[in-house]
Structures are given as structure tokens and as C-alpha cells.
Amino acid sequence: MNADEFLISSILELKDIDSAELTPDLTLEKLALDSLDYVEIQVGIKKHFGVDVPTDLFTSNTIKTLGELGSYIDSRTETKPVPLNA
């Protein structure tokens, strides 16, 4: 599962939203994520990719869209993302 697929899967678990709406240019603001949603996503990213996404990247608007978050994860993933047990 790559970063984009992971983010889509995580958000579908957290929000009642159509997967077709989850495009790379969709802003996190439009998703109306609350603070616990961000925590859940940050922990999930750490767990699956070993990447720590500091909260201030969201609060400072450094990361504004799903695509930017996916790119941030990709740029810091040293090893291949964890595959799934079949």
C-alpha cells in the first residue's frame, strides 16, 4: 500500500465521504478533520511508514492537501512501505 492509498483508506475509516472525492488536491480543511482525526492519521503514518509528521506542518499550512501529505510521506520513507499479510 503506497502513501496515497494509505491516506485514502485511513480517511474513509474516519470520515463518511465518497472515495471519488478524495483527490490529491482536496484540502485537509475541506475534510473538516478534528484534532483526534489528525492524531489517528499521524499515528497510522508512523506505524505503516515510520514517518513522523509534526503537527505544526498542518497548523502552519505547510501541508494543505492530501497530495502534499502523500508527497511528504514518500519523501521521508527510507524503506518500502509495509506490505500486507495475504
> Where on the chain is the footprint of other proteins (CB under 8 A)?
12-14, 16, 34, 36-37, 39-40, 42-44, 46-48, 52, 54-55, 82-86
Q: ∠28-31-33 over CA atoms, to 5°?
A: 80
Closest CA to 66 of 31, 18, 17: 31
Nearer residue to other proteins within complex by CB, 48 or 70: 48
Nearer residue to other proteins within complex by CB, 23 or 43: 43
Nearer residue to other proteins within complex by CB, 24 or 43: 43
Q: ∠67-35-47 over CA atoms, to 5°?
A: 60
